[in-house]
Amino acid sequence: MTNAKGRFGVHGGQYIPETLMNAVIELERAYDRYHADPAFHQQLKSLLNEYAGRPSRLYYAGKMTRDLGGAKIYLKREDLNHTGAHKINNVLGQALLAKKMGKTRLIAETGAGQHGVATTTAAALMGMECVVYMGREDTERQALNVYKMRLLGAEVIPVDSGTGTLKDAVSAAFREWTNRIDDTHYCLGSVMGPHPFPTIVRDFQAVISEEIREQMLEKEGRLPDAVIACVGGGSNAIGSFYHFIDDPSVRLIGCEAAGRGAETLETAATITTGRLGIFHGMKSYFCQDEYGQIAPVYSISAGLDYPGVGPEHAHLHDIGRAEYVPVTDEEAVNAFEYLSRTEGIIPAIESAHAVAYAMTLAPQMGKDNILVITISGRGDKDCAAIARYRGENLHE
Amino acid sequence: MSNIAKAFERGKAFIPFLTCGDPDLETTEKLVKAMADSGADLIELGIPFSDPTAEGPVIQAANVRALQGGVTTDKIFDMVRTLRKTVTVPMVFMTYANVVFSYGAEKFISACGELGIDGLILPDIPYEERDEFVSICKRHGLDLISMIAPTSADRIAMIAKEATGFLYIVSSLGVTGVRSEIQTDVGALVALALENSGCPCAVGFGISTPEQAKQMAALSGGAIVGSAIVKLVARHGRDAAPYVAEYVKSMADAVHSA
């Protein structure tokens, strides 16, 4: 699906300062080499299985299915991975690649803290130095994850520029990378940024749909009718979609964070409200004003609070292969509570966006239909914030 | 000969930068005139962007001040239209790809041509992504300025061969901002560039003192200074013109004597 210069249709590309060009070219060469190397894949698979706990379960949510009264619902349990989210899939791949490239230091951005924790974990495991950039506001929203990263040996640098959220953390990490390239790999956390990142991250996350496919064929003897995942940059979604893209019978649905509503200014629903633009190394859809200034976006979820979306999602939207729907804070919080009570599974607030849309969609589908929701992460990190959202005076 | 080439005709060029609309456009207009009168050979006008990923804290803050003050691309175009009635020094816009792309590259660049803007510096458009903008620039008589970084190595020849106007030599790794010393072998970068291009080279990033400017100009065709000027604007606000004039004069004299 990638063509020259890492394009997905018109999206993608390499819109970065000259200082970084040889770094991404070096990365692309290394990736091409190790991507074709069975020994690399064997090593990565062993890490994913023995260390991260893969394959993750495809769990039949019987109570939820009966309660909603429509499609049969399965949950892809990425929340059960080591470090509690899908982020570890990508991070183990990139850290292993960086190590092979002779890099000794990882830098990363993080929003909710999940990617930061995963990167720090991989750095600890592989004996690498690690620095994580995190928006000041997010360090407050996700204080526990900041502690975890420090506990794991990383330096966490709060970012004050801009809106103090995920986009500013990405900008800060790019700035640091231009400053120190020789020994440093920028371990980008989503399917975004300049080529080859969207392809590398997608390939490492594609294990999600590879497993869903295998597990579904084993359990049901057929493919699902729909796969639903939340989309910020879009890494768990592209990972969940990838091995179904060529199966037109499988609906692929990405849930964007609408914040207080896609019609308000307090939203992060990029495909619903954004325009084509160039930012953070890629051409894609971005929330921006008429002069191309990037909009200060908002979502209750720090992990989806990003004004852009990965270029492959932008392309899947353009060609009509995937659908993207906005889900509000309120809907996501309801789903967070619903899944906790109905199945005894506390999802990350990011993943709750996907659960929320499934709650609308499942009853409209027949009982012979099958729906898969990717639970990209677990919700422990969100409990205090959701309690506060509901008016409880709970602080970590 | 392009207007930019003329900036290097009489010897080494001093190229000051400022962020348009910081703190307001009336001040910017005064500052541009002051710089032109104080010996600037080419002026870089920054159009602010919400997320300037190649800038250090000083210019980032200027972008924030300018945008908070309500400056827009159209208002900057109006200011340049007024300035061009009296200021003949070559001028280029420095901004980020999305500011141009979102306005419509054709619409933005043709407006630049009509206003008498001589070139465009887009730090997030490397060689690989030039095609989208360079043909439009050519059609409207603008040079799309190419950049060479300390990490460019085997890319220098390729970049230099396509360069027009001047070649922007990035002196250091990292983002814009004042540095106490420049460790890159700038002379080697310039020599490699000149083997492959007839364009003059100017060195930017990290230069703030007349000594540094003279040293960099001696190794190349000129020196570019941004953060040091933006700092003066931050300190003196609407009254910055005489301070900027004095500073630009000292820097231009140093460069011209190199």
Two tokens at A230? Answer: 């939340």
**Would you say residue B29 lies in a domain?**
yes
**Would you say residue A287 lies in a domain?**
yes
Two tokens at A307? Answer: 């004004």
Average pLDDT on B200-213 reads 96
Shared domain check, A359 and A225: yes
Shared domain check, A139 and A213: no
User: What is the reported pLDDT for B219?
Assistant: 96
Q: Which amino acid type is present at position A87?
A: K
**Would you say residue A161 lies in a domain?**
yes
Q: Is A219 a catalytic residue?
A: no
Model-wide pTM > 0.90: yes
d(CA A161, CA A170): 11
**Would you say residue B6 lies in a domain?**
no
Shared domain check, A98 and A76: no
- List the catalytic residue out of A28, A56, A78, A87: A87
A190: part of which helix (H) or strand (E)?
none
Shared domain check, A194 and A262: no
**Residue A59 sits in which domain range?**
55-84+207-389
Of the residues A201, A227, A253, the one at which a domain ends: A201
Can the peptide bond before residue B52 be classed as cis, meaning omega within 30 degrees of 0? no
**Would you say residue B116 lies in a domain?**
yes
- In A110-149, which positions are buried (b, 16+ CB within 10 angstroms) versus exposed (e)? bbbbbbbbbbbbbbebbebebbbbbbbbbbebbeebbebb
d(CA A350, CA A232): 8
Which of A17, A167, A168 is opposite residue B54, by nearest beta carbon?
Answer: A17
Of the residues A201, A225, A244, the one at which a domain ends: A201
Q: How far is CA A171 from the centre of its chain?
A: 17
Instruction: Please count the structural domains in chain A.
Output: 2
Instruction: Please count the structural domains in chain B.
Output: 1
d(CA A205, CA A188): 13
d(CA A255, CA A335): 13
Tell me the per-residue pLDDT of B100-130, one tens digit each, with 9 for 90 and over: 999 999 999 999 999 999 999 999 999 999 9
- List the catalytic residue out of A109, A137, A211, A312: A109
Q: Is A214 a catalytic residue?
A: no
| DSSP helix/strand/coil, A19 | helix
User: Are B146 and B173 within 8 A, CB to CB?
Assistant: no
Minimum distance, in Å, between the CA of residue A167 and any CA atom of chain B: 9
User: What is the reported pLDDT for A137?
Assistant: 86
Shared domain check, A314 and A295: yes
Tell the burial category of A260 from Cβ atoms under 10 Å away from its Cβ (0-12, 13-18, 19+): middle
d(CA A19, CA A13): 16
**Would you say residue B108 lies in a domain?**
yes
User: What is the reported pLDDT for A162?
Assistant: 83
| DSSP helix/strand/coil, A301 | coil
Which of B57, B102, B123 is opposite residue A17, by nearest beta carbon?
Answer: B123
Paired sense of beta strands A58-60 and A72-77, if any = antiparallel
User: What is the reported pLDDT for A4?
Assistant: 65
Does the interface predicted TM-score (ipTM) exceed 0.90?
yes
**φ, ψ for residue A375, nearest 5 deg:** -90, 95
Per-residue HEC secondary structure of chain B comes to: CCHHHHHCCCCCEEEEEEECCCCCHHHHHHHHHHHHHCCCCCEEEECCCCCCCCCCHHHHHHHHHHHHCCCCHHHHHHHHHHHCCCCCCCEEEECCHHHHHHHCHHHHHHHHHHHCCCEEECCCCCHHHCHHHHHHHHHCCCEECEEECCCCHHHHHHHHHHCCCCEEEECCCCCCCCCCCCCCCHHHHHHHHHHHCCCCEEEECCCCCHHHHHHHHHHCCEEEECHHHHHHHHHHHHHCHHHHHHHHHHHHHHHHCC
**Would you say residue B1 lies in a domain?**
no
> C-alpha dihedral over A265, A374, A384, A302, to 10 degrees?
-40
d(CA B181, CA A155): 27
**Residue B186 sits in which domain range?**
13-256
d(CA A287, CA A294): 6
Calculate ∠ Cα B252-A19-B28, nearest 5°: 40
A162 interface with B at CB cutoff 8 Å? yes
| DSSP helix/strand/coil, A255 | strand
Shared domain check, A354 and A336: yes
For residue B150, list chain A residues with Cβ-Cβ distance below 8 A: 19
**Would you say residue A396 lies in a domain?**
no
- Which residue of B146, B151, B156 to mutate against A (max A Cβ within 10 Å)? B151
d(CA B37, CA B244): 11
A180 interface with B at CB cutoff 8 Å? yes
Beta-carbon contacts of residue A86 (< 8 Å; ≥ 6 apart):
A78, A205, A208, A235, A236, A239, A374, A376, A377
User: What is the reported pLDDT for A2?
Assistant: 46
CATH number at residue A344: 3.40.50.1100
Shared domain check, A271 and A289: yes
End-to-end alpha carbon distance in chain B: 24
Calculate ∠ Cα A245-A249-A250, nearest 5°: 55
Tell me the per-residue pLDDT of B166-189, one tens digit each, with 9 for 90 and over: 999 999 999 998 888 888 999 999
A182: part of which helix (H) or strand (E)?
none
Q: How far is CA A20 from CA A281, B55, B110, in A?
A: 10, 14, 30
d(CA B128, CA B97): 13
d(CA A28, CA A185): 12
Angle between helices B57-68 and B227-236 (to 10 degrees): 50
Asked if A294 lies within 8 A of B103 by C-beta distance, the reply is: no
Query: Which residue numbers in chain A have pLDDT < 50?
Result: 1-2
User: What is the reported pLDDT for B80?
Assistant: 98
Q: Is A45 a catalytic residue?
A: no
Asked if A21 lies within 8 A of B73 by C-beta distance, the reply is: no
Shared domain check, A33 and A78: no
End-to-end alpha carbon distance in chain A: 44
d(CA A167, CA A296): 9
d(CA B118, CA B130): 17
**Would you say residue B95 lies in a domain?**
yes
**Would you say residue A13 lies in a domain?**
no
CATH number at residue B89: 3.20.20.70
For residue B54, list chain A residues with Cβ-Cβ distance below 8 A: 17, 175, 178
The neighbouring-strand residues paired with A132 are A108, A156
| DSSP helix/strand/coil, A42 | helix
Of the residues A201, A218, A245, the one at which a domain ends: A201
Asked if B98 lies within 8 A of A22 by C-beta distance, the reply is: no
Tell me the per-residue pLDDT of A108-165, one tens digit each, with 9 for 90 and over: 999 889 999 999 999 999 999 999 999 998 898 788 899 999 999 999 999 998 888 8
User: What is the reported pLDDT for A111?
Assistant: 87
Q: How far is CA A312 from the centre of its chain?
A: 13
Tell me the per-residue pLDDT of B33-91, one tens digit each, with 9 for 90 and over: 999 999 999 999 999 999 999 999 999 999 999 999 999 999 999 999 999 999 999 99
User: Are B99 and A289 within 8 A, CB to CB?
Assistant: no
User: Are A371 and A384 within 8 A, CB to CB?
Assistant: no
The neighbouring-strand residues paired with A58 are A76
Shared domain check, A237 and A189: no
| Ranges assigned E (strand) in chain A | 7-8, 11-15, 58-60, 72-77, 105-110, 129-135, 155-159, 184-186, 226-231, 251-259, 275-279, 281-286, 322-328, 370-375
Shared domain check, A121 and A71: no
For residue A19, list chain B residues with Cβ-Cβ distance below 8 A: 149-151, 170, 173-174
Shared domain check, A358 and A270: yes
For residue B153, list chain A residues with Cβ-Cβ distance below 8 A: 22
Shared domain check, A157 and A72: no
Handedness of CA A25, A309, A152, A78 (dihedral sign): negative
